[in-house]
Amino acid sequence: MPSIKVLDDDLVSLISAGEVIENPSSVVKELVENSLDAGASRIDIEIEEGGLSRILVSDDGEGIPKEDLVRAILRHSTSKISDKSDIEMIGTYGFRGEALASISAVADIQISSSTSDRTVGAKLTARTGEKAIVTDAARPRGTTVIVQDLFARVPARRKHLGSPGHEGMRINEIVMHHAAVKNDVGFRLIRDGETAIDVPPHQDWRDRISDIMGREIGKSLVPVNHEEDDLKIEGFVAWPPVSRGNRNREFFYVLERPIEDEALSKAVEGAYSTLLMRGRYPICVLNISLERTKVDANVHPTKREVRITDLDRITRNMRLAVRSVLHRDEIPPSLGEPYEKINATTRSYGPETDGRLDSGSPASSLIEHQTLLDDGTSESEKAVMELGPLGGEFRIIGQAMNLYILLETEDGILVVDQHAAHERIMYERFRKEVNTGSIGIQEMLEPIVIQLNPVDAERILGLANALSEIGYEISSFGGNEVLISAVPDVLGRSVSEEDMLVLVDQMIDIGSDYASEHFMDELVKVTACHNAIRSGQPLSSDEIRRLLVELARTKDRYNCPHGRPTLFKITASELEKRFKRRL
């Protein structure tokens, strides 16, 4: 075993830098938080190649005196704390004294700064491995930090970074997280010369969230304001069904410090309970205020996690706070017509009906024996239909809760989930079109323009080529807006902006969560699901019969594309046992 030795300062700095600076977004996070601690009212961020070649963060904060510039890049140097007692009352983002030192250990750095009591500012230039140089420089009050050639000295670390686009999106997320809660500060993010985020200072909190997350999310927000003794929880949550396919839009803060905490996520998700479908996650921006002595922010090098005294109390109140605004009898007035329109949207199946079960026929038609094997069916189709519980005669009892189709068979009751059944039909139909290259495409008479947040706009445009293979035509409309000019015929003739917002959200989640070999199939599934008849939609007996005929013709009729059962049978013997007619 080699002998133990003390590492030299240069190597120690590189190791320490690795704990704080993981990627370009870590640099942006540390510099933005320094700007906030300096009292900035405006922060500008510019990056090139995802921050790999250049990062600039400039603010109008207090600035750094010339004599402090060299000390600012030394390890464990900070103006935030002086002794042990200060650690227990942390009120700033940065306090560990490692950020600038860690950055200068793995990149070239230039700091220009000026304070209000000096007529001339100063500039520090520090190349990795060389002594820092400080000179006079003219600039208004504030600080500008330029970081270049990140990880040039540590090529192994740079090799494991993502693409410039991926790293750029990470930086988008960092800026969004801070901007969502610091609505008194203006933020501007420029990526490779293009403005990705630009929000003004002193902005209404709802407007700020709407600007960075998208207009449709902004419309769905309802305020949360809850207090118990020294604890206060405030912010916004999105009214269902507006949601995400992951936790990426669950923004939590403690004393306006962005944090990640699974217990808080579960508390909010528990408050939504059955209001969201399985696999959907809430959208929220929630800040927790409590005594500083009850928060330990010194448990993680990057300060993503904090330790909170009596976390059980916090999560209990978080769940209560969110539940109290969601479980109301009325839709909040702030949501207005767009929300009501989304929930009122239904699609008919087959010919137009008045939405009632067989309204034009006598009631007796519902109890006549019917069979899937009508005279217009070929012998080969009959053989397929006779397989499984859909073969033979049945009697349409009707619908239960406008969701389940009830059928009486010779030896029991068949229960069919109308949405899952139609989803299977649409999936196999669309899958066949994709496989044979015969996808029907409908050009939109009036193309749909939707506004997204910068990250989601970039992600959906990155999927444009793949989406074009299944009939979608999506292109940039400038800024964070995207234009949908064509959709697959399978979606039907009436596609609204609300429809496309839901679809785009689901497609973005698919692009993030599935390997390339499964990507196209998942897109087909989500398109089929979106066009399937909805839970809560009334069907006539003729519509029910046509649905069952088509389901019987599908290959995998017993499950929807996502694996949920389309139907199940309750036998006569099971019913007899339930009613104690048989032991």
Instruction: Please tell me the least confidently modeled range out of 132-146, 178-192, 336-350, 365-379.
Output: 336-350
Q: Is 486 helix (H, G, I), strand (E, B) or coil?
A: strand
pLDDT of residue 306: 63
Q: Are residues 195 and 277 in the same domain?
A: no
pLDDT of residue 394: 73
Closest to 328 measured CA to CA, from 209, 218, 237: 237
Q: Work out the percent of the chain whose per-residue pLDDT is above 90.
A: 27
Token digits for 301?
A: 């090098």
User: Residue 279 pLDDT more than 50?
Assistant: yes
In a domain, 354, yes or no: no
Contact (Cβ atoms closer than 8 angstroms) between residue 353 and residue 543 = yes
pLDDT of residue 216: 83
In a domain, 512, yes or no: yes
Q: E-strand spans in 200-337?
A: 221-228, 231-238, 250-254, 257-259, 284-289, 295-296, 307-308
Residue 101 CA, distance from chain mean position: 34
Query: 75-130, pLDDT tens digit by residue?
Result: 655 554 444 444 454 556 654 446 788 888 888 999 999 998 888 899 999 887 67
Closest to 466 measured CA to CA, from 532, 522, 550: 522
Query: 47-84, pLDDT tens digit by residue?
Result: 999 999 999 999 999 998 888 888 888 765 555 444 44
Count the neighbouring beta carbons within 10 Å of the beta carbon of residue 5: 6
Q: E-strand spans in 266-323?
A: 284-289, 295-296, 307-308
314 against 95, higher pLDDT: 314
62 beta partners: none
Q: Are residues 38 and 123 in the same domain?
A: yes
Q: Are residues 527 and 541 in the same domain?
A: no
Query: 185-242, pLDDT tens digit by residue?
Result: 999 999 999 999 999 999 999 999 999 998 888 988 999 999 998 899 999 999 887 8
Q: Are residues 401 and 486 in the same domain?
A: no
Q: Are residues 304 and 393 in the same domain?
A: no
Q: Are residues 309 and 448 in the same domain?
A: no
pLDDT of residue 312: 86
124 against 13, higher pLDDT: 124
Q: Are residues 82 and 222 in the same domain?
A: no
Give the CATH number for residue 573: 3.30.1540.20
Rounded to 10°, the helix 418-436/541-552 angle is 50
Q: Are residues 323 and 367 in the same domain?
A: no
DSSP 168: H
Return the exposure string of 41-79: e unless at least 16 CB atoms fall within 10 Å of the residue's CB, then b. ebbbbbbbbbbbbbbbbbbbbbbbebeebbebbebeebb
Number of domains the chain contains = 4
Q: E-strand spans in 489-574?
A: 567-571
Give the CATH number for residue 137: 3.30.565.10
In a domain, 352, yes or no: no
The whole-angstrom separation of Cα 31 and Cα 34 is 5
Q: CB-based contacts of 194: which residues, under 8 Å, 6+ apart?
A: none
Give the CATH number for residue 236: 3.30.230.10
Contact (Cβ atoms closer than 8 angstroms) between residue 458 and residue 481 = no
Give the CATH number for residue 511: 3.30.1370.100
In a domain, 242, yes or no: yes
- Encoded amino acid at 367, one letter: I
Q: Write down the residue that tokens 């209560």 correspond to.
A: 320
Q: Are residues 79 and 109 in the same domain?
A: yes
HSE toward the beta carbon, residue 551, CA cutoff 13 A: 30
Query: 474-492, pLDDT tens digit by residue?
Result: 999 888 889 998 888 877 6
Query: 496-529, pLDDT tens digit by residue?
Result: 777 788 788 878 877 655 444 466 777 787 777 8
Given 149, 178, 199, the domain boundary residue is: 199
Return the exposure string of 494-506: e unless at least 16 CB atoms fall within 10 Å of the residue's CB, then b. ebeebbbbbbbbb
Q: Are residues 308 and 368 in the same domain?
A: no
Q: CB-based contacts of 469: which residues, under 8 Å, 6+ apart?
A: 434, 520
User: Residue 175 pLDDT more than 80?
Assistant: yes
Closest to 454 measured CA to CA, from 182, 33, 47: 47
Instruction: Please tell me the least confidently modeled range out of 21-35, 489-503, 558-572.
Output: 489-503
The whole-angstrom separation of Cα 462 and Cα 141 is 40
The whole-angstrom separation of Cα 75 and Cα 132 is 14
Given 297, 312, 343, the domain boundary residue is: 343
- Please report which confidence band the pLDDT of residue 265 belongs to, taking 50, 70 and 90 as the band edges: very high
pLDDT of residue 212: 93
- Determine the average pLDDT of the residues in 304-325: 84
Q: By 3-state DSSP, what share of the chain in percent is helix, strand and coil, each rounded to 5?
A: 40, 25, 35
In a domain, 302, yes or no: yes
The whole-angstrom separation of Cα 378 and Cα 373 is 9
pLDDT of residue 502: 77
In a domain, 228, yes or no: yes
Closest to 174 measured CA to CA, from 15, 323, 48, 302: 302
In a domain, 430, yes or no: no
Contact (Cβ atoms closer than 8 angstroms) between residue 212 and residue 199 = yes
pLDDT of residue 209: 96
* Residues written for the chain: 583
To the nearest whole number, what is the mean pLDDT of the chain? 78
Q: E-strand spans in 149-220?
A: 186-191, 194-199
pLDDT of residue 362: 30
Given 295, 315, 343, the domain boundary residue is: 343
Query: 430-455, pLDDT tens digit by residue?
Result: 888 888 878 888 888 888 898 888 88
Contact (Cβ atoms closer than 8 angstroms) between residue 304 and residue 170 = no
Q: Are residues 265 and 394 in the same domain?
A: no
Domain interval for residue 395: 363-421+536-578
User: Residue 351 pLDDT more than 50?
Assistant: no
Closest to 79 measured CA to CA, from 66, 96, 67, 55: 96
4 against 444, higher pLDDT: 444
Query: 373-431, pLDDT tens digit by residue?
Result: 444 444 433 333 443 445 556 788 888 888 899 988 878 888 999 998 988 888 888 88
Query: 330-348, pLDDT tens digit by residue?
Result: 555 555 443 333 232 222 3
The whole-angstrom separation of Cα 307 and Cα 298 is 8
In a domain, 1, yes or no: no
- Please report which confidence band the pLDDT of residue 11 belongs to, taking 50, 70 and 90 as the band edges: very low
Q: Are residues 524 and 545 in the same domain?
A: no
